Amino acid sequence: MLSNYLPVLIFLIVGGGIGAVMIIAGFVLAPHKPDSEKTSPYECGFEAFEDSRMKFDVRYYLVAILFILFDLEIAFLFPWAVVLDKIGYFGFWAMVIFLGILVVGFIYEWKKGALEWE
Amino acid sequence: MEFIAAYLPSAMMNDQTISQLPLALPEIVMLCMASIVLIVDLFLNDKTRGGTYILSQFTLLALVVITVMSFTQQKSIAFHGTFVRDGMGDLLKIFVYIVTFTVFLYSKSYLKARDMFKGEYYVLGLFAVLGMMVMISAQSFLTIYLGLELLSLCMYALVALQRDSIIASESAMKYFVLGAIASGMLLYGMSMIYGATGSLELATINAEVMKNTDNIVLIFGLVFVLVGVAFKLGAVPFHMWLPDVYQGSPTAVAIFIGSAPKIAAFAMTMRLLVDGLHGLHVQWQDMLIIMAVASLAIGNIVAIAQTNIKRMLAYSTISHVGFIMLGIMTAEKGGYTASMFYTIVYTLMALGAFGMIMYMSRMGFESDKLDDFRGLNQRSPWFAFIMLIFMFSMAGVPPFVGFWAKLSILKAVVAVDMTWLAVTAVVFSIIGAFYYLRIIKLMYFDTPQETSAIEGASDLRVMLSLNGIAILGLGLYPELIMGLVISVM
């Protein structure tokens, strides 16, 4: 029973090891030429320290949410494609219905102008 | 690859699923129609927006016909034990359609006057109904959660529909945060029960629970499941969201939140506690008693202090939920029947009370203060009488149907030898009668603050009158609904 978890243990060791080696190698091998811009904290184009109650464009969120919605379907499409020969027409049509519902949402967002920046 | 193949359904199971599809016909029709309404609405402008409304109402009426035509007493479980079609579910679904139909009808002129007559209201409403249908027909934890989230997400968006209103945004935020916590609690409880029984299907869970009712993990899971259920019903101490959401959301949304989802929440409670965890009834009975008594006490007493009628109706909802819980608490068929009757009757009364607020409101005037009802008798005697029917019925005065609802719950509670509990419920009902009767006093014995004629749309007036007459008529012939409820339980 416990031996079933051996691959997980090996994975943890190898994964942790590679991560550690990379960071240490970066420290030892990389050139060190710091200046004030390089060492200052970086935060996605915004000032790192300022009032958090500032206005910014809600359209970024719209795009991000739409991206997640349509990106998630890939998570279903990949395993579906891998086993398509085993699940037959039933599986095929189930996915067509799923994609059909997504298309309804896509038509809605397109017609509402959510995809236009201006 | 072999690993995945072992988990795939076989061809035989797929054929079985396809042959069971007709059982879910109402849900399939609802999904298709909600999508069609969404697309059709895109091609309509503000002048032709009425098309969305008519199509939504047609969908609900068609579903009433479909469900009545395929009405079945026989319990059939489909889709690998995740879906159930039975008499209780069919009857509750029919009432959900009728209630939603009435909500849409009442709110049309209210929405038009506030520039909220948009397709999204109807699309979100229809998807919320689909969520309720899934909840009502759920037979496994997965489907219960799926339906609940579909319903809740639509509701959060509906509350925030008036997005320029600060108070609506605030209540949507509160509703969302608290709702998410409650869903989390419910999921946590479900995972505990799954851990203890190894199944998500309610029937299998019930069989496993019967074997060992002292399992501490099960009881732990039960507590969290009950927290989630109590939140969705709005029982004390998980009621804090109700007054804020009712008051903050547009009345057209408050009437929806206050009516149809209660039917679905009742179905969810029945599926979880009776179909799934009946073996633990000794444990959940005690918890329900505490929550029911607390709901009756806080709901009825705090309602007296309110000056906003929507807030008052929220506390009144809490006290009615206490009664519904008392019926389920009996863990007997008689109690379940009484609870189901009470839930249906309550939604009809809540529809009427909120309908009255919308009838009296007009552009730029919400009419949600108690004082707005002052002297209604002088301005419109007929609708003062209709409001009197709703208030008397909620207070539980015979011969209105609210009396029979309370009576059937009390009879069921006395039948399981908990007379003290029935007495407590009666005492709190009498306290609660005060704030219902206060509205009647305001309407009949006070002078109106303004004397302008009330402009209500004609379809609203007709439906509101029908609603009031139904409460009176069902009070005279309670067996009309009671007979239906008894036949399906």
Report pLDDT digits (tens) over A22-40: 999 998 998 888 888 777 7
Please give the structure tokens belonging to residue B155. 């509701």
Find the residue in A nearest to B32 (Cα).
Answer: A101
Beta bridge partners of B285: none
Full residue range of the structural domain in which residue A84 is found: 53-118
**CA B309/CA B352 separation, integer angstroms:** 13
Longest pairwise C-alpha distance within chain B: 80
Find the residue in A nearest to B6 (Cα).
Answer: A86
Confirm whether the ipTM is greater than 0.95: no
User: Touching check for B19 and chain A: CB below 8 Å?
Assistant: no
Give A58's pLDDT tier (boundaries 50, 70, 90).
Answer: confident
SS3 A41: coil
Longest pairwise C-alpha distance within chain A: 62
User: At a CB cut-off of 8 Å and minimum separation 6, what does B169 contact?
Assistant: B160, B163
Which phi and psi (to 5°) does residue B369 adopt? -95, 150
Is residue B200 within 8 Å of B141, Cβ to Cβ? yes
Chain A closest-CA separation from residue B14 CA (Å): 7
CB contact under 8 A, B4 and A108: no
Is residue B393 within 8 Å of B347, Cβ to Cβ? no
**CA A99/CA A77 separation, integer angstroms:** 10
Q: At what angle do helices B458-476 and B401-415 cross, to 10 degrees?
A: 40
Chain B closest-CA separation from residue A6 CA (Å): 18
How many domains is chain A partitioned into structurally? 1
Is pLDDT at A53 greater than 80 in this prediction?
Answer: no
CB contact under 8 A, B39 and A83: no
**CA B339/CA B360 separation, integer angstroms:** 32
Nearest CB neighbour to B8, from listed A87, A111, A112: A87
Residue A87 is assigned to a structural domain of this protein: yes
Contacts of B14 in chain A (CB under 8 A): 88, 90
Residue A15 is assigned to a structural domain of this protein: no
Q: Which of B212, B300, B200, B314 is nearest to B255 (CA)?
A: B314
Residue A110 is assigned to a structural domain of this protein: yes
Chain B closest-CA separation from residue A45 CA (Å): 28
**CA B170/CA B198 separation, integer angstroms:** 41
Q: What is the pLDDT of residues B360-400, one digit of tens each?
A: 887 777 778 888 888 888 888 899 999 999 999 999 998 89
Residue B5 is predicted with a pLDDT of 58
Residue A42 is assigned to a structural domain of this protein: no
Beta bridge partners of B76: B85
Is residue B389 within 8 Å of B472, Cβ to Cβ? yes
User: Touching check for B17 and chain A: CB below 8 Å?
Assistant: yes
Please give the structure tokens belonging to residue B475. 């009070």
CB contact under 8 A, A90 and B5: no
CB contact under 8 A, A108 and B38: yes
Residue A31 is assigned to a structural domain of this protein: no
Q: What is the pLDDT of residues B239-297, one digit of tens each?
A: 999 999 999 999 999 999 999 999 999 999 999 999 989 888 888 999 999 999 999 99
Contacts of A104 in chain B (CB under 8 A): 35, 38-39
Is residue B482 within 8 Å of B404, Cβ to Cβ? yes
User: Touching check for B39 and chain A: CB below 8 Å?
Assistant: yes
Contacts of A79 in chain B (CB under 8 A): 4
Identify the burial level of B243 via C-beta atoms within 10 angstroms of its C-beta, where 0-12 means exposed, 13-18 middle and 19 or more buried: buried
**CA B51/CA B350 separation, integer angstroms:** 28
Read off the pLDDT of each residue in A30-51 and give the average, rounded to a whole number: 76
Residue B244 is predicted with a pLDDT of 92
| Mean pLDDT split into 10-residue runs, chain B, 489 residues | 61 79 92 95 89 94 94 86 92 96 93 88 96 95 95 94 88 93 94 91 90 85 94 90 92 93 95 91 92 94 92 94 94 93 95 92 80 87 93 92 94 93 94 92 87 80 93 92 88
User: At a CB cut-off of 8 Å and minimum separation 6, what does B132 contact?
Assistant: B93, B96, B147, B151, B260, B261, B263, B264
Residue A9 is assigned to a structural domain of this protein: no
Residue A83 is assigned to a structural domain of this protein: yes
Chain A closest-CA separation from residue B219 CA (Å): 29
Burial B268-279 (b: 16+ CB within 10 A, else e): bbbbbbbbbbeb
Q: B163 to each of A58, A80, B27, how far by Cα in Å?
A: 14, 40, 30
Chain B closest-CA separation from residue A110 CA (Å): 10
Task: State how far Cα A36 lies from the chain centre.
Answer: 31
User: Touching check for B419 and chain A: CB below 8 Å?
Assistant: no
Residue A76 is assigned to a structural domain of this protein: yes
**CA B376/CA B382 separation, integer angstroms:** 9
3-state SS record for chain B: CHHHHCCCCCHHHHHHHHHHHHHHHHHHHHHHHHHHHHHHHHCCCCCCCHHHHHHHHHHHHHHHHHHHHCCCCCCEEECCCCEEECHHHHHHHHHHHHHHHHHHHHHHHHHHHCCCCCHHHHHHHHHHHHHHHHHHCECEHHHHHHHHHHHHHHHHHHHCCCCCCHHHHHHHHHHHHHHHHHHHHHHHHHHHHHHHHCCCEHHHHHHHHHHCCCCHHHHHHHHHHHHHHHHHHCCCCCCCHHHHHHHHCCHHHHHHHCCHHHHHHHHHHHHHHHHHCHHHHHHHHHHHHHHHHHHHHHHHHHHHCCCEHHHHHHHHHHHHHHHHHHHHHCCCHHHHHHHHHHHHHHHHHHHHHHHHHHHHCECCECCCEHHHHCCHHHHCHHHHHHHHHHHHHHHCCCCCHHHHHHHHHHHHHHHCCCHHHHHHHHHHHHHHHHHHHHHHHHHHHCCCCCCCCCCCCHHHHHHHHHHHHHHHHHHHCCHHHHHHHHHHC
The pTM for the full model equals 0.89
User: Touching check for B437 and chain A: CB below 8 Å?
Assistant: no
Contacts of A112 in chain B (CB under 8 A): 42
CB contact under 8 A, A82 and B4: yes
Contacts of A83 in chain B (CB under 8 A): 4-5, 8
CB contact under 8 A, A88 and B17: no
**CA B53/CA B217 separation, integer angstroms:** 49
**CA B370/CA B366 separation, integer angstroms:** 11
Residue A88 is predicted with a pLDDT of 83
